[in-house]
Amino acid sequence: MEKPNILLGRIDNRLVHGQVGVSWTNYLGANLIIVADDEVAQNEIQQEIMEMVAMTSSADIRFFSIQDTIDLIWNAAPEQKIFIITKTPKEMRALIDNNVPIEQVNVGNMHFSEGKRQISQKVFVDDEDMENLHAMQEKGVRVYIQEIPGKLEEALK
């Protein structure tokens, strides 16, 4: 079984929007966006909105639950250049902990909510988020903060 061609994992609580669906997808040369999210996998309205954004980059888009992503990723065709997006570090870690071969994780946007602290301009975390991010690093995954392509990356602290 050939290893799937995963270009990047991104954590962004907005999932697919202009930055992801156009800027990042084109920058990476991705031709398939996988949204790994249990809620969105069941929500056709959210899927339709994200499909419209993905169409502007000519990439295909699929919506899978976390478990379906784990179960199906190894069926990817060699020509698929995959960009995986989750809302939270917990979801991305679940993929990595279950043998989804993601080598790099870009943290884009994690909005403020009660109990979260700011670690960069657009990233707010709590202790569980940091535990999950550091656990990915301990597995050898490169984890960094970068809002848009071309903007300087920030190391995860």
C-alpha dihedral sign at 85, 91, 69, 79? positive
Angle (deg, nearest 10), helices 127-138 and 89-97: 30
Q: What is the pLDDT of residue 20?
A: 77
- Could you tell me the pLDDT band of residue 151, with boundaries at 50, 70 and 90? confident
For residues 67 and 23, which has the higher predicted lDDT (pLDDT)? 67
Catalytic residue, candidates 17, 122, 134, 142: 17
Residue 17 among the catalytic residues: yes
Average pLDDT over residues 26-48: 96
Q: Using CA atoms, how far apart are residues 59 and 32, in angstroms rounded to an integer?
A: 5
Domains of the chain: 6-152 (3.40.35.10)
> Three-state DSSP class for 99?
coil
Q: What is the pLDDT of residue 57?
A: 85
Average pLDDT over residues 73-97: 97
Q: What is the pLDDT of residue 149?
A: 86
Question: 55-64, 113-122, 147-156 — which is least confidently predicted?
Answer: 147-156
Average pLDDT over residues 65-88: 97
Average pLDDT over residues 20-49: 93
46 touches 40 (CB < 8 A): yes
User: What percent of the chain clears pLDDT 70, i.e. is strictly above it?
Assistant: 97
- Could you tell me the pLDDT band of residue 14, with boundaries at 50, 70 and 90? very high
